[in-house]
Amino acid sequence: MTPTLPGRWQIRVFLLTTLGLIISLPVSLVVGNVVPLFVLLYVLLFGLAWDVIYQFITSYRWDRDWPTSFQVAAGIIEGALVWGLILTKKLPGIPAAPPFIVFLVQYGVIWLSIFVLTQGPLRVFWLKWRYQGGQWFVSRGIQAGEPTHQQQPSPALQIAGRYNHRQPSPPQVVRPSNPDPRQGLAGLQAVQPYVCACGFVFDSSVGKFCSRCGRPKLQP
């Protein structure tokens, strides 16, 4: 899975607020204060900014990918920054640095579980997730940009290549089908033309749908 920026953000927010919280709460109970919860909050907040930097780095890579080794390096750098800021004692909510081992276990376990989950198991639950660059939610606007399903693209303009030599066929009136050859020409009947909303004219006795645009035929 090659993440997009919204994908990175969604993974971070979703996994830290669920899995991250599940891991941080027991740690918080063990040490008896809320510092681990604040650590989690800062990892989340700084991470949102880190993700912008990561995505910028990928733009220098031809494949626009994010190798596993980069993911590991990013985890170490992110952790080091948060720990460094904790040591300054200037982070609101963290008046004194917790023992390093507590931070290491909390951060390490959270990071490792996210790493493992994003490497694959998440896809088992959300099939589309990986194709969307790690996004669960894709804005509707993108999908709304699609052309109408059955609209026939106008052949004259949109066709390129060798087919652009061909003239679009004029609207045609289809003769009623004549499965029995013995009837011969005498079997031909007058045709009731049907004009579809798309402008296509065809024999009203044939089919329930317009053969050009696929609209259902309206009963007179």
- Of 14-22, 76-84, 99-107, 162-170, the segment contacting other proteins by CB under 8 A is 162-170
Question: Which 3 state secondary structure label does DSSP give 216?
Answer: strand
Q: Does 211 bind other proteins (CB under 8 A)?
A: yes
Q: How far apart are CA 101 and CA 108, in angstroms?
A: 10
Contacting residues for 76 by C-beta, under 8 A, at least 6 apart = none
- From candidates 158, 182, 190, 220, binder to other proteins by CB under 8 A: 158
Select 93 or 207, whichever has its Cβ closest to other proteins.
207
Footprint on residues 49-108 left by other proteins (CB under 8 A): 55, 58-65, 67-70, 72
Per rule CB under 8 A, is residue 153 in the interface with other proteins? yes
> Per-residue b/e over 102-140, b at no fewer than 16 CB within 10 Å?
bbeebbeebbeebeebbeeebeeeeeebbebbbbeebee
Burial label for 212, CB within 10 Å (0-12, 13-18, 19+), is middle
In this chain, which of 32, 161, 170, 220 binds other proteins, going by CB under 8 A?
161
Count the helices and strands in the chain (H runs, E runs).
8, 2
Piece of the chain touching other proteins by CB under 8 A; list 12-20, 97-105, 123-131, 187-195: 123-131
Alpha-carbon dihedral angle through residues 157, 159, 163, 165, given to the nearest 10 degrees = 10
Nearer to other proteins, 124 or 186 (CB): 124
165 touches other proteins (CB under 8 A): yes
What SS3 class is residue 48? helix
- Judged by beta carbon, residue 124 or residue 185, the one nearer other proteins is 124
Considering only residues 93, 95, 155, 193, which one is a binding residue for other proteins as defined by CB under 8 A?
Answer: 155
What's the rounded Cα separation, in Å, for the pair 204 and 148?
A: 24
Query: What does DSSP assign to residue 96?
Result: S
Q: How far is the CB of 4 from other proteins (least distance, A)?
A: 5
Residues contributing to the site for other proteins (CB under 8 A): 1-5, 55, 58-65, 67-70, 72, 120-121, 123-128, 130-133, 142-143, 145-147, 149-153, 155, 157-166, 168-169, 174, 177, 179, 202, 206-209, 211-214, 216
